[in-house]
Amino acid sequence: MDWFQIIPSSMSAVASVAAAVAAIASWRVSRRATSIAESTALATHHSAATHAYVHEVKQLSALVSELEKLIFEITSTWSRQIQGFDKRELGGIDPRPLRHVLHNGYELLAVFALEYKNQVGMASREIFSPIINGMGSINDNEYNKLLQRVDGTSYSFEAILGSPSKSKGIISAPAFRWVYYQLLRRVESQDWSRVWKEAWFENGYLNQYKSEFAKIKPKLIESRKRLRNEKEKLIHTAFPIEKNLDLSGQYNQLLGALDCLIEDCDSELIEGYKNWDYSEEQCLLILCSMGLVSFAAKQVDVIQCASRF
């Protein structure tokens, strides 16, 4: 074997491999440098939009703080007060506290409405669909079947009876129908009527919501307009906001929450039923109003979470 011929060829192969490795390393460094340069250019290009977002979030957080407190009063304190009218023994052998029934019911409405959050006006329509479309036939046979499945349990009603189907609507959902049966049977219609009327007194919960929402709505609209304008400024530039996935996502999430607050949580949507005079639907009026307020709470949470980052 001629080692003097083998060694040079081996060294040549090693040199080729080394050159290839060096080329790959150089390419990686170059690519990283390009990526850093692009990120820097992106950050510089979007600095105004970033500052605008941070400013709006801080302003909005302060703006909705009173609404946030009021929402808690409506969904928590009001529920406890309504429980004072409860004839619990009429709800089964071991029924849930009425405030838990209310909570489960309005959360069902609010969560179901989230399926429609990208369709302006649809979320609120779904929340009030039990009143708009009615609850259909109410009978002892259905009630007793639901009672056998739910009475004495501690899980959420939808965990036992199933979540509402988007194709069928919430009024057909056994979990929501069970809530309705409980409210109908455990609190007398005149008491529901009294609770509804008192909610519109000067210091009533829904009148307070009306006043607070009317106060902040114009500022919510102004904030939404400014955020939209910031996005539009970048549309025909080298780096549209969509190039910045994080910033674009933050803008879209905040604008989505503002759309829902402005279009689907307006107190006027509740006030339209202020003089509703169907006794069997008074409990639904209260439940659906709480559902809308709970839906508003989820939008406020988006704003407050954004303000903490």
What is the percent of the chain where pLDDT is above 70?
A: 84
Q: What pLDDT is attached to residue 5? A: 52
Average pLDDT over residues 280-294: 95
Confidence of residue 35 (pLDDT cuts 50, 70, 90): very low
Higher pLDDT, residue 95 or 9: 95
Average pLDDT over residues 283-294: 97
Q: What pLDDT is attached to residue 33? A: 36
Is residue 43's pLDDT more than 70?
no
Is residue 239's pLDDT more than 50?
yes
32 CB neighbour count, 10 Å cutoff? 10
* Integer Cα distance of 265 and 43 in angstroms: 35
Q: 20-34, 67-81, 234-248: lowest mean pLDDT where?
A: 20-34
Confidence of residue 44 (pLDDT cuts 50, 70, 90): low
Entry pTM: 0.85
Handedness of CA 46, 47, 50, 55 (dihedral sign): negative
* Integer Cα distance of 306 and 289 in angstroms: 26
Q: Where are the chain's structural domains?
A: 1-45, 48-307
